[in-house]
Amino acid sequence: PAEDEARVEEIKRLLEAHNAVLVAHYYTDDAIQQLAEETGGCVADSLEMARFGARHPAETLVVAGVRFMGETAKILSPEKRVLMPTMEATCSLDLGCPADEFAAFCDQHPDRTVVVYANTSAAVKARADWVVTSSIAVDVIEHLQARGEKILWAPDKHLGGYIQKQTGADMLLWDGACIVHEEFKAQGVEDLKALYPEAAVLVHPESPAAVVGLADVAGSTSQLIKAAKELPNDKLIVATDRGIFFKMQQAVPEKTLFEAPTAGNGATCKSCAHCPWMAMNALDNLADALHHGSGEIHVDAELRRAALKPLERMLNFQK
Ligand code: 13P
Ligand code: SF4
- Number of the ligand closest to the Cα of 156: 2
**Tell me, what's the pLDDT at 3?**
87
CA pair distance 32, 183, nearest whole angstrom = 25
Domain at 181-259: CATH code: 3.40.50.10800
Closest CA to 24 of 81, 64, 74: 64
- Sheet architecture: strand order including 81-83: 42-44, 20-25, 60-64, 81-83
**Tell me, what's the pLDDT at 271?**
52
- Sheet architecture: strand order including 151-154: 130-132, 113-117, 151-154, 171-173
**Tell me, what's the pLDDT at 263?**
64
For the cut 80, the answer to whether the pLDDT of residue 265 exceeds it is: no
Q: What is the mean pLDDT of residues 95-111?
A: 98
Q: Maximum distance among all alpha carbons in the chain?
A: 59
Residues near ligand 1 (Cβ within 6 A): 25, 45-47, 66, 119, 133-135, 206, 220-221
Report the b/e string of 17-38 with b at 16+ CB within 10 A. ebebbbbbbbbbbebbbbbbbe
Atom of ligand 1 nearest to the CA of 65: 10
Phi first, then psi: give them for residue 225, nearest 5 degrees: -65, -40
Which residue among 47, 91, 183 has the greatest number of ligand 2 atoms within 8 angstroms of its CB, and so is best to mutate?
Answer: 91
Architecture of domain 2-89+278-298: 3-Layer(aba) Sandwich (3.40)
Atom of ligand 2 nearest to the CA of 181: 2
Closest CA to 130 of 148, 119, 120, 115: 115
> What is the three-state SS of 10-53?
HHHHHHHHCCEEEEEECCCCHHHHHHHHHCCCEEECHHHHHHHH
The total number of residues shown for the chain amounts to 319
Report the b/e string of 164-186 with b at 16+ CB within 10 A. bebbebebbbbebbbebbbbbbb
pLDDT confidence bin for 266, thresholds 50/70/90: very low
CATH of 93-177, one of 3.40.50.300, 3.30.43.10, 3.90.190.10, 3.40.50.10800: 3.40.50.10800
Q: Where are the domains of the chain?
A: 2-89+278-298, 93-177, 181-259
Which residue among 71, 277, 280, 281 has the greatest number of ligand 2 atoms within 8 angstroms of its CB, and so is best to mutate?
Answer: 277
* pLDDT tens string 15-56: 999 999 999 999 999 999 999 999 999 999 999 999 999 999
pLDDT confidence bin for 267, thresholds 50/70/90: low
Q: Which long-range contacts (CB under 8 A, 24 or more apart) does 186-190 make?
A: 186/210, 186/211, 186/213, 186/214, 187/264, 187/266, 188/260, 188/261, 188/262, 188/263, 188/264, 188/265, 188/266, 188/267, 189/214, 189/237, 189/239, 189/260, 189/261, 190/214
**Tell me, what's the pLDDT at 1?**
83
Q: Same CATH fold, 93-177 and 2-89+278-298?
A: yes
Distance between Cα 146 and ligand 2 center (Å): 30
